[in-house]
Amino acid sequence: MRPDPNCRLCGLCEGRTHIVLPDGDPSTGIFLVGEAPGENEDIQARPFVGRSGKILEGMMADAGLKRSDVVITNTVKCRPPGNRDPTKEEMAACRPFLDSELEDAKLVVGLGKSACRDLMGFEGAMAEIVNVPTTITVNGRQVPFIPTYHPAATIYKKNSRAELARTMRIIAEEYR
Ligand code: URA
């Protein structure tokens, strides 16, 4: 199930240029879930193509992963104004599309706090859960889940960078 091209399920439709759909190969069963499209993603209609995307791609490449080895997606498919965090209501409105994407997932990786809040219901500090494997319920099915830092969080924090790099190695070595 994909959003209607004229989707108006939440207020994010007012400011968007494009709905940003998942990118990658769903047959891999590996899904990296970010927060929301930013300015570049909104223009190019592709997730993680701006600064965060370059960081993510670089870390994936260091672990031997290509974008086509996974699917990259977001909790919400339209850009929040000024790149603010998506609200719970916006995430809930978009959730059926994410659930549908994750139908046959064998691993879901939550990139950052918003994704981990939406997918695990976790409200604490990322440092408490980063790279601790767990499971989430998607469409009534238990799916392996790894919480990790958002690529943007690694810009000034060396430790976050090391943890996100570790996540990429776990994906490459244990799930690919
Ligand atoms: N940040 C995200 O969380 N998602 C994107 O697609 C781009 C930046």
| 3-state secondary structure labels for all residues of the chain | CCCCCCCCCCHHHHCCCCCCCCEECHHHCEEEEECCCCHHHHHHCCCCCCHHHHHHHHHHHHCCCCHHHCEEEECCCCCCHHHCCCCHHHHHHHHHHHHHHCCCCCEEEEECHHHHHHHHCCCCCHHHCCCCCEEEEECCEEEEEEEECCHHHHCCCHHHHHHHHHHHHHHHHHHC
Helices (runs of H) and strands (runs of E) counted in the chain: 5, 6
| Ligand 1 pocket list (CB less than 6 A) | 34-38, 41, 47-48, 50, 52, 74
DSSP 8-state symbol, 77:
S
Å from CA of 34 to ligand 1 middle: 5
- Dihedral pair phi/psi, residue 138, rounded to 5°: -125, 120
Which tokens is 60 given?
């994936």
Q: Whole-model pTM? A: 0.97
Question: What is the structure's pLDDT at 173?
Answer: 97
3-class DSSP state of 35? coil
Question: What is the structure's pLDDT at 88?
Answer: 95
Mutate to test the pocket of ligand 1, among 48, 114, 150 (most ligand atoms within 8 A of CB): 48
Question: What is the structure's pLDDT at 141?
Answer: 96
Å from CA of 89 to ligand 1 middle: 18
Q: Which atom of ligand 1 is nearest to the CA of 51?
A: 8
Question: What is the structure's pLDDT at 28?
Answer: 98
Å from CA of 48 to ligand 1 middle: 5
Ordered mean pLDDT values, 10 residues apiece, the chain (176 residues) = 96 98 98 98 98 98 98 98 95 97 98 96 96 97 98 94 98 95
- d(C-alpha 112, C-alpha 25), whole Å: 22
